Structure 1
Amino acid sequence: MSEPAPKPQHLLWRWCAIGSAVLLLAVAFGYVGGWLAPKRLTAQRIVDALQHNGGVHPGYRRNHAKGICVAGYFEGNGAGSEFSRSEVFTAGRTPFVGRFAVPGGNPYAPDGSVPIRSMALRFSLANGQQWRTGMNSMPVFPVSTPQAFYEQLQASQPDPATGKPDPSRLKAFFGQHPETAAFLAWVKTAKPSASYATESYSGLNAFYFVEAKGVRHAVRWQVVPEAKDAAPGPAGDTDYLANDLRTRLAAGPLRWHLMVTLAAPDDPVDDATKVWPADRKTLDVGTLVIESEQAQESGPCRDINYDPTVLPDGIEVSGDPLLPARSAAYADSYLRRTGEEAHVPGAAHADPSRQEHP
């Protein structure tokens, strides 16, 4: 027996219910995208600010645009396996694809324009998992929240008359953000180095290592170089970092020790502007070995999104609010630059088989 046809009022209620669901979905997407809340901070607004400050350079990252690809392996010594169940910390080799870079959105900037260098790595574990991390050659991050970072970008906007940031705006910003004191103290003495190979690189955000039994340990990590022959950059060479790296690798691999520091119970875990005391337990869990380099335009690092929240089992994100903001901004930048590579004449086309989708 067939069911009776719905009454008109029942059809009306059904369409109202469906329409309400669609409307709620639209509102949700609108809110996430920032369309219905124009003052809400979004990844798009952060990347827009980076793009405004650094200029538009199609096909390049919106920050750390100037860089070079590297490849090698991590030789784990087993010391980290006590605190993390990830297989990357067992004794043995894990290959990685990495990238050295300098901050800023201009891929043609002189290497000596800023004192900061960065190292990003993507470890490919034998079990199919990945660990991605982005580190910088500074001890702390300037600010502790995405909103403060966005305000810093706004304060750093170039003045159209001079092409440089307005000192009064920067002074006002730093005056309103006392958490920047540790970073500013470092900046006063920091000088651009002449080599990526002689820098230490710190993962400024804290994470959790997770044992096989589920016990968590708050950690930060740093890679410390074996090479120590730091020197000022050569005068007149705006690309000395890549040239130096090629020269060094022609003579043999370069090595860094991966040092993992464990937090004490009262140490700040969710604030990247604060350092932990120097007496905290630190483990040498293995050696990073870089064997080769390649120009980023055609190298294996070009299409990698070094999202620091892509983690293997045994490492987890902390509650640091900068981590989800970094992840979202990296994804937005990735989509912009790979879309430009596909449409800009003369730009290198992205290889779909190598793309790392956020």
Structure 2
Amino acid sequence: MAETRRPRSLLVSLAAIALVVGGSAAAFAYTAGWLSPGRLTPDKVVDAFAPPGGPALGHRRNHAKGICFTGFFEANGAGAELSRAKVFEAGRYPIVGRFNFGTPDPHAPDASARVRGFSVRIQTPDGQEWRSAMISAPFFPVSTPQDFYQLLKLLAAKDPEQVKAFAGAHPRFAAFGAWTKSAPWTGSYAEERYNGLNSFIFTDAGGKDHAVRWSLIPEATPTPAPAEELAKRGPDFLEQEIAQRIAAAPARWKLVVTVAGPGDPAADPSQPWPEGRRTVEAGTLVADKVEQEVDGPCRDVNFDPTVLPDGIRTSDDPFPAARSAAYAVSFDRRTAEAKNYGAQ
């Protein structure tokens, strides 16, 4: 009996693995557009970021200007209530990160882009990683990757009437525009709140799932400064300020996880969740060393948001898979263009 059950058990296991791998491959192929030539593809999205003069070779295709940092995430253990991921067990875990802002031009003046970014890779002793790329905006301007691609094409065309028509058909884009005009600027990466706008699923030790989003809340008090004033500080004031600040003392953020309530739109990053949702402060992220990107530890890191540890997985939000595919294309291109890095 044991001899007949063992092969059957092995076949069942192999079949289960094949289903998982096949399903993942199918999902990735669908996202990449391989199953239907007319679909949106990662290459099209990456191409749409290129400015009129072409992309900056050797650089990331978006958020091209940035600076590396290292430090650690100090988990307080509270996050284990929501996820069994090792990263939420009380302890200190090394990180590599990147401060950046939303532009395809690595030489753009620091006061030229409203959206700032914070990318991070957290590693745990069991060999797992959690990668995340967050931005300072409280919500995304559109709800689907297809809408985002359409928006990129419209902005590149610089046709005010088409953009106006798009805004009329996509109310959240207008709301995003209002945020860019009204939200106060700060003079430091350390004073920004960074939001993971996509929803993910945390699974706790008991197997219960929780739809969540997360944010980094700065320990430093934000000091508003008009964009005109910031422009006078020089084209690279953000990099210079954060390097000086962290050389004097580490910069810190609280990692706050927000749990979705009934009916909250987990698949739409353009829709903020209502105030008052349950939150869990999972620990403190600390940046204690800044290095120039040209030879820094973050230069070759792809901050793919689908690189997740056991206990965290993607939700039905379509953006993480689309971002992952586009990031891979961007990474491959800039790696192939490495000789051009820093030459422009």
Q: Which residue of 1 aligns with 2:150?
A: 151
Q: Which residue of 1 aligns with 2:49?
A: 50
**Identical counterparts, % of pairs:** 51
More relative contact order in 1 or in 2 (CA 8 Å, sep 6+)?
Answer: 2
| Paired AA for residue 222 in structure 1 | S
Whole-Å separation in 2 of the counterparts to 1:321 and 1:61: 22
Larger radius of gyration: 1
Q: Which residue of 2 aligns with 1:256?
A: 253
Tell me: CA distance 1:331–1:276, structure 2 relative to 1, closer, same or farther (3 Å). Answer: same
Of residues 188, 191, 203 in structure 2, which corresponds to 1:195?
188
**Would you say the 8 A contact 2:211–2:259 is kept in 1?**
yes
Per the alignment, in what secondary structure is the counterpart of residue 258 of structure 1? strand
Q: Which residue of 2 aligns with 1:25?
A: none
**Would you say the 8 A contact 2:102–2:114 is kept in 1?**
no
**Would you say the 8 A contact 1:207–1:318 is kept in 2?**
yes
- After the TM superposition, which residues 128-147 of structure 1 pair with which residues of structure 2 at under 5 Å, given as runs? 128-147=127-146
Q: Which residue of 1 aligns with 2:90?
A: 91
Gaps in structure 1 of 5+ consecutive residues:
1-28, 159-164, 349-358
**Segment of structure 1 superposing worse, 277-286 or 234-243:** 234-243
Deviations 1:34-84 (A, max 9, x none): 589553210000001112457311110000000000110001001111110
Whole-Å separation in 2 of the counterparts to 1:246 and 1:346: 20
Tell me: CA distance 1:52–1:38, structure 2 relative to 1, closer, same or farther (3 Å). Answer: farther
Check if 1:228 corresponds to 2:227.
Answer: no
How much does 1:346 deviate?
Answer: 7.0
Gaps in structure 2 of 5+ consecutive residues:
1-27
Check if 1:108 corresponds to 2:107.
Answer: yes
RMSD: 2.2
How much does 1:128 deviate?
Answer: 0.0
Deviations 1:192-229 (A, max 9, x none): 42110000000000111101121100111000001014
Whole-Å separation in 2 of the counterparts to 1:253 and 1:80: 23
Per the alignment, in what secondary structure is the counterpart of residue 256 of structure 1? strand
Q: TM-score, normalised by structure 1?
A: 0.83
Whole-Å separation in 2 of the counterparts to 1:244 and 1:175: 39
Q: Which residue of 2 aligns with 1:40?
A: 39
| Paired AA for residue 206 in structure 1 | S
Of residues 309, 334, 337 in structure 2, which corresponds to 1:312?
309
Whole-Å separation in 2 of the counterparts to 1:109 and 1:325: 26
Tell me: CA distance 1:31–1:184, structure 2 relative to 1, closer, same or farther (3 Å). Answer: closer
Whole-Å separation in 1 of the counterparts to 2:30 and 2:316: 22
- After the TM superposition, which residues 1-358 of structure 1 pair with which residues of structure 2 at under 5 Å, given as runs? 38-52=37-51, 55-157=54-156, 165-232=158-225, 233=230, 235-341=232-338, 343-344=339-340
Whole-Å separation in 2 of the counterparts to 1:314 and 1:30: 24
| Paired AA for residue 223 in structure 1 | L
Whole-Å separation in 2 of the counterparts to 1:171 and 1:182: 13
Report the number of matched residues.
Answer: 313
Per the alignment, in what secondary structure is the counterpart of residue 122 of structure 1? strand
Per the alignment, in what secondary structure is the counterpart of residue 259 of structure 1? strand
Tell me: CA distance 1:187–1:234, structure 2 relative to 1, closer, same or farther (3 Å). Answer: closer
Whole-Å separation in 1 of the counterparts to 2:111 and 2:340: 29
Per the alignment, in what secondary structure is the counterpart of residue 50 of structure 2? helix
How much does 1:251 deviate?
Answer: 1.2
Whole-Å separation in 2 of the counterparts to 1:183 and 1:54: 27
